[in-house]
Each structure stands twice: as C-alpha cells, then as structure tokens.
Amino acid sequence: MPLEQRPLQEYEQLCRSWFFTWPASAAAPLLRALTIAWLSVLPLCLLVAGGSIALRRDPPQLIAAGAVAAVALPLLLLLRQWLGWTYVQRRLLAETVEYEESGWYDGQVWEKPLAWRQQDLLVARHQVAPVLARLRRGIIVVTGLLLGGAALCQAL
C-alpha cells in the first residue's frame, strides 16, 4: 500500500492543511475563520440584495437579507470540512482500506495489521471524533442562524 494512501498518513496530511486545521485545535480559530468568511462575502450579498426594488426601499430588510445570504459561505466551508474529516475517520475505523496503485483502474484492498488497526482506532476516537463534534455543533449553529435569519426576513 502506498505510504500517502495509508489512513494515518491521510490524517497527518489533513492536520497539516491550513483549511482543515481550523476546527482541529479549538473552537476559537474555527469561529474566527467563519466570521472572516462571512464578513468577506457580506458586501457582495448586500450588493446583490440591493438589486431588488422592494428591498432597496426597506434598508433593515435589505441588511437582514444580505446578512442571511452571506451565511451560506460559512455553511459550505463547514460542510467541506465535515466531508474531509469524516472521510479520514471512515478510513481510520475500517479494517480494510481500498487504495490505488497507479491509477483509478487498478484499485486494491488492503487489510490493516492488528497493531495499525489499534493505533488508527485510537486516533479516530481521540483525535478525529472531537473535531467532528466541533464541526457538528458549528453546522447546527450556522444552520440555525440561516433559518432564524430567514424567518426574521419574513417577519420584517
């Protein structure tokens, strides 16, 4: 099995990635990155919302609509991180792992040795599971903000 396709190596690559390290250490870096993403797309969303004649006449609803639309980017970022971390967790927890030797056409199945399975299980439970729990809470909060903001826009 190629070294770069081993589940523990994939986990280490994920930990070195600047994007996937946001939720890895604590909630603060993740919150900061999501806030920056939301603030960076907010002007564009306000500009697009300003194209509506009805919203142009109602500035509070315009701001609310732009702010709610801007929440979509942090939600997409969280979902992408969730997909990356769950992929690695699934491979860490598996007893057999599929890999490719030289391309998509020659996939193989590799059975992990018992010592590697135990090590991968520990990493999955104690390193990856807390990250996924943090991402799950983040997705719930951002989805709640999106739905709550949409309800607020309807009420205004």
pLDDT in single tens digits along all 156 residues of the chain? 778 889 999 999 999 999 999 998 888 889 999 999 999 999 999 999 888 887 888 888 888 899 999 999 999 999 999 999 999 999 999 999 888 877 666 778 889 899 999 999 999 999 999 999 999 999 999 999 999 999 988 887
Q: What does DSSP assign to residue 125?
A: I
Residue 124 per-residue DSSP state: I
Residue 120, both tokens: 């991968």
| pLDDT attached to residue 3 | 81
Q: What is the pLDDT of residue 155?
A: 81
What pLDDT, on a 0 to 100 scale, did the predictor assign at position 73?
A: 95
Q: What is the pLDDT of residue 52?
A: 82
- Residue 56 CA to residue 65 CA, distance in Å, equals 11
For the chain, what is the radius of gyration of the CA atoms? Answer: 21
- Identify the three-state secondary structure at position 109: strand
The domains of the chain are located at 3-18+26-155
pLDDT at 99: 83
